[in-house]
Chains A and B, each alone.
Chain A
Amino acid sequence: MTGKNQVPLTRIQAGQEGIIVRIEGGTRLINRLAALGIRPAKRITKVSSAIMRGPVTIKVDRTQVAIGFGMASRIMVEPVQAIP
């Protein structure tokens, strides 16, 4: 994890894949997200992007999770170039 190309989850495009680098939050948030399979080093795909600060939906393993905008903006990901 180089860390030079990190963006919040809210900033990547729908359909884009990324690897979670870190979660900027307290233990409670980290625990709640981890329980849903969202934790560092996980590969995720963004399913829908938010308008009007609405929730972000991502795919992680074989489930989809909808995450409120505020939480999503604290999840830092490194975008992965999709293989064409």
Chain B
Amino acid sequence: MNILLMGNPNVGKSVVFSRLTGVRVIASNYPGTTVSYTRGHMKLGEETVEIIDVPGTYTLEPTSEAEEVAQQMLGTGDVVINIVNATNLERNLYLTLQLLERDVPMVVALNMWDDTGHRGIEIDLDRLSELLGVPVIPTVATTGQGIKELVSSIPDAASPDTPVRSRDERWTTIGSIIDQVQRVTHRHHTWREHLADATVRPFSGSIIALAVLAGAFLVTRLIGEGLIGYVLEPLFNSLWAPVLLRLSDLLGGTGFLHEILVGNLIDGQLDFVQSFGLLSSGLYVPFAMVLPYIVSFYLVLGLLEDTGYLPRLAVLMDTVMHRLGLHGYAIIPTLLGLGCNVPAILATRILESRRGRFIAATLISIAIPCAALQAMIFGLVGERGVQYVAIVYGTLFVVWIILGIILGFAVRGFTPELLIEIPPYRLPPWRTVLQKLWIRSYGFLLEAVPMILGAVFVINILYFFGVFHAIADFTAPVVTGLLGLPKEAITALFIGLLRKDVAVGMLAPLALSAKQLVVGTVVLAMFFPCIATFIVLLRELGVANMFKAAGIMICVAITTGGILNLIL
């Protein structure tokens, strides 16, 4: 048996899904967190049933790709659990009525039930259930309240005979239902609501936005640096280094196996960044340089997501984003891209047009450095001085803007307008924040660490057999002539196709000047997506558009690198 969780965006479907199946999924406080469906299983009596978390939709007439998924899924379900926001019954009932017209047995979960009390809303559950002809269960998914009752009501799911109505007839029906079941006591604006409104006003909102983003950046750095300086660096230096040095002795200090496992000793000493062996840099880069920033970035992002601030940022950024051929909501995938480009490109599905998705995805893969890359920028470029880090970020930002303006003009079509629901501010539920942090950090370890080790292994093999020398001579005109980098830097650009963090790490042993390091990192950041991003771009954009995007990337990277080389 198949059970679909359906409802308006941001009513808590993913939290209910997580409660029912025990499968950890990412849930946030903004419409459009879930862009594709997730499957999980649950025991229902003796039977194991499949539960599907469907992207949220306001109606069964889709307006974006994420909503189209919802429309397609509906045909495959045996039972629908319609999740309804209890504080917004009227609007949510529109989808409920449309679902009832479809002859699928249904149960209604009246979620966020705890919010109704202090918002002055009273709902007559029995009457609502009677009028709709299906069971209605009040739930609070974030605390788990009502979930058991919801499960035991599934066998009672009903499909009352409902005529297919027109839009206006549906609204009339909803009006009469609301009159019979809901009573709202009027309340005055609280100070919290006044504060909430200030965050979307142009002037006060912009100041708050700057403060929030600066604060987020500082906290991310503080936690990241703290984890590195006080936990991971000491761990590696005092515990792991002696083990590796012993191993180096055992292997005789040189030779193929030594090269691959330990790497090059520098003045007889191990250098975790430059040695580049599987067990030295291969472990140090992912665990001691990147992971701390992954954890700190996703903790801060998770908190931002769950407060409900991001849609407000989208409203403030709308005017700017329109210049880039996008609308304000594209800021959400862009912010996700600062963590990892892969989920960011998936998240562009919340944009309505294919044009918008192409522009957003291309901009993200060129100008938005992922957390792993940023960690390496902080680590290596930061060593030379804060001003150089600022140049790298400044350049990427300028490229983002200029390229966006060009794409906005060049890609045919028009920019749809922003139309989004702004969720109320909420205190981030610690459970979803920690759950997301775990999913994302664990995802990094599971997917990135083997990739990083693989990349380091490949580098060593290629070096050992001298393959890179041949390539380096061939590409020298561009790498040295145009970008002013030593010809060996091409190896880093190649490895950038696998993992950008390792690639930046490969610049370390090249004894680059600060300027060269800046050029190298910027080119690496923009040049070509890492393999994981490449695959997701290919899948989301299609072959033709992927090649277009890749062409743009290579041109922009080389141009920008050349310009930096000239002016710095």
Write the residues of chain A forming the contact surface with B, with a CB cutoff of 8 angstroms.
14, 31-37, 39, 47-55, 57, 61-71
A61 touches B315 (CB 8 A): no
A66 touches B91 (CB 8 A): no
Question: Which residue from B88, B90, B91, B319 sits with its C-beta under 8 Å from A54?
Answer: B319
What residues on B are CB-neighbors of A31 within 8 Å?
Answer: 59, 61, 167
Question: Which residue from B87, B88, B318 sits with its C-beta under 8 Å from A55?
Answer: B318
What residues on A are CB-neighbors of B424 within 8 Å?
Answer: 63-64
Question: Which residue from A37, A55, A69, A71 sits with its C-beta under 8 Å from B91?
Answer: A37
A61 touches B90 (CB 8 A): yes
Question: Whole-angstrom distance between the alpha carbons of A53 and B88 in the complex?
Answer: 29
A55 touches B422 (CB 8 A): no
B318 touches A68 (CB 8 A): yes
Interface centre among B121, B167, B327 (most CB of A within 10 A): B167
Q: Which of B225-277 contact A (CB under 8 A)?
A: none
A14-B419 contact, Cβ under 8 Å, with A31-B61, A66-B311, A68-B318:
no
Question: Which residue from B61, B422, B423 sits with its C-beta under 8 Å from A57?
Answer: B422
Question: Whole-angstrom distance between the alpha carbons of A61 and B416 in the complex?
Answer: 25
B200 touches A66 (CB 8 A): yes
Does B210 touch A at the CB level, under 8 Å? no
A-B pairs under 8 A by CB, number:
94
Give the Cβ gap from B98 to chain A, nearest Cβ, in Å. 10
A54-B419 contact, Cβ under 8 Å, with A14-B201, A35-B94:
no
A62-B119 contact, Cβ under 8 Å, with A35-B59, A36-B58:
yes
Does B444 touch A at the CB level, under 8 Å? no
Question: Which residue from A32, A34, A62 sits with its C-beta under 8 Å from B171?
Answer: A34
Question: Whole-angstrom distance between the alpha carbons of A39 and B318 in the complex?
Answer: 23
A36-B319 contact, Cβ under 8 Å, with A47-B200, A57-B200:
no
Does B7 touch A at the CB level, under 8 Å? no
Interface centre among B88, B121, B311 (most CB of A within 10 A): B88
B202 touches A54 (CB 8 A): yes
What residues on B are CB-neighbors of A53 within 8 Å?
Answer: 319
Question: Whole-angstrom distance between the alpha carbons of A55 and B311 in the complex?
Answer: 12
Across the interface, name the chain A residue whose C-beta is closest to B119. Answer: A62
What residues on A are CB-neighbors of B315 within 8 Å?
Answer: 48, 54-55, 57, 66
Encoded as 1 (CB less than 8 Å from any A CB) or 0, chain B from 306 to 332 comes to: 000001001100110000000110000
Does B149 touch A at the CB level, under 8 Å? no
Question: Which residue from A51, A52, A61, A66 sits with its C-beta under 8 Å from B419?
Answer: A66
Q: What are 14 residue pairs bridging A and B, where the CB atoms are less than 8 Å apart in the complex?
A: A31-B61, A34-B171, A36-B91, A36-B419, A36-B421, A37-B91, A47-B201, A48-B315, A62-B87, A66-B328, A66-B420, A68-B416, A70-B417, A71-B417
A63 touches B421 (CB 8 A): yes
Question: Which residue from A54, A64, A68 sits with its C-beta under 8 Å from B421?
Answer: A64
Across the interface, name the chain A residue whose C-beta is closest to B416. Answer: A68
Question: Whole-angstrom distance between the alpha carbons of A71 and B311 in the complex?
Answer: 18
B171 touches A66 (CB 8 A): no
Question: Whole-angstrom distance between the alpha carbons of A4 and B427 in the complex?
Answer: 44
A66 touches B319 (CB 8 A): no
Give the Cβ gap from A29 to chain B, nearest Cβ, in Å. 9
What residues on B are CB-neighbors of A37 within 8 Å?
Answer: 88, 90-91
What residues on A are CB-neighbors of B422 within 8 Å?
Answer: 57, 63-66
Does B103 touch A at the CB level, under 8 Å? no
Interface pairs A-B: 8 shortest CB-CB: A68-B417, A35-B58, A37-B91, A64-B422, A54-B319, A68-B418, A66-B315, A48-B201
B91 touches A61 (CB 8 A): yes
Across the interface, name the chain A residue whose C-beta is closest to B328. Answer: A55
Across the interface, name the chain B residue whose C-beta is closest to A60. Answer: B91
B200 touches A39 (CB 8 A): no
Question: Whole-angstrom distance between the alpha carbons of A14 and B318 in the complex?
Answer: 18
Additional A-B contacts beyond A47-B197, A47-B201, A57-B422 (18; CB < 8 A): A31-B61, A34-B171, A47-B200, A48-B315, A53-B319, A55-B318, A55-B417, A55-B418, A57-B200, A62-B87, A62-B121, A63-B423, A64-B422, A65-B420, A67-B419, A68-B318, A68-B327, A71-B419
